[in-house]
């Protein structure tokens, strides 16, 4: 799909879109950014930061895949850091 009209975003909104792409796997970033452009083009012009941030957050969840790590028994599992472990490390 080609976007024919430009999307008007503030600097903060554009930064939010780009920042949301950083945790995604490199091979999923372009699809995420294309989906953002497609959905942002559907929003009425002059929407607020909250609307843009909610949309970007929703799309990021669709494209994010948690990394897999090998356990001691050779099985793969998703990484999950609890608050207690995060505090102990940091």
Asked if residue 61 belongs to a domain, the reply is yes
Whole-number average pLDDT of the chain = 80
Domain annotation covers residue 77: yes
Tell me if 1 is assigned to some domain: no
pLDDT tens per residue, range 15-58: 999 999 999 999 999 999 999 999 998 888 777 899 999 999 99
Structural domain that includes position 57: 11-89
DSSP string over the chain: ----S-----HHHHHHHHHHHTTS-HHHHHHHHHHHHHHHHHSPTT--HHHHHHHHHHHHHHH--PPEEE-TTS-EEE----HHHHHHH-
65 inside domain: yes
How many domains are there within the chain? Answer: 1
């Amino acid at each position: 799909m080609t976007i024919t009209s430009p999307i008007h975003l503030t600097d903060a909104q554009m930064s939010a879109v780009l920042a949301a792409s950083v945790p995604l796997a490199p091979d999923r970033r372009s699809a995420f950014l294309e989906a953002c452009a497609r959905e942002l083009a559907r929003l009425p012009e002059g929407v607020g930061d909250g609307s843009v941030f909610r949309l970007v957050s929703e799309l990021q969840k669709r494209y994010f895949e948690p990394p897999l790590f090998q356990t001691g028994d050779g099985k793969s599992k998703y990484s999950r850091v609890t608050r207690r472990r995060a505090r102990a490390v940091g």
